[in-house]
Amino acid sequence: MFISTISAPSYPKNNLVSFERFIDGVMKSSQKPKFEQDASQYKMEIDIPGVSKDQVNISIEGHIVRFKTTEQAKRNYSEGYELPGEVDPSTSTAKLEDGVLYLTLAKKVQLSKASSLPVL
């Protein structure tokens, strides 16, 4: 007969730190943003509980949107998302409400680079 024993994992003396790491891990693995788009914009909703608006940095480069919490935040979030098209940061908005980051990202309007050539 085979008997298996399972030992309890060892945690640091400060269980609060372990709990925070556990929560961070759970949130990271379950953190899937809601995403919608229409003809003029992309909309994203990302759950980031426990973070205030001054603890979040958002950067937009072309069609890549990144957000990261500052060192002062209780929880650490750092994510990047590749969107189907480029974003116009000058007309985009971000709002943090009740632990949810709402991004309204305006699609960049591609101006035609075509030139007309007169026929002589």
User: pLDDT of 40-52, one tens digit each?
Assistant: 999 999 998 889 9
User: Tell me, what's the pLDDT at 31?
Assistant: 60
Q: Tell me whether residue 21 is in a domain.
A: no
Q: Tell me whether residue 113 is in a domain.
A: no
Q: Tell me whether residue 89 is in a domain.
A: yes
Report residue 29's pLDDT band, with 50, 70 and 90 as the boundaries.
very low
Q: What is the CATH number of the domain that holds 53?
A: 2.60.40.790
User: Tell me, what's the pLDDT at 22?
Assistant: 54
Q: Tell me whether residue 17 is in a domain.
A: no
User: pLDDT of 32-89, one tens digit each?
Assistant: 789 999 999 999 999 988 899 999 999 999 999 999 999 899 888 888 999 999 999 9
Query: What's the whole-number mean pLDDT along residues 20-26?
Result: 56
- Encode burial over 52-72: b for 16+ CB neighbours within 10 A, e otherwise: eeebbeeebeebebebebeee
Q: Tell me whether residue 66 is in a domain.
A: yes
The total of structural domains in the chain comes to 1
Residue 87 is inside which H or E element, if any? strand 87-97
Q: Tell me whether residue 115 is in a domain.
A: no
Domain extent, residue 82, equals 33-107
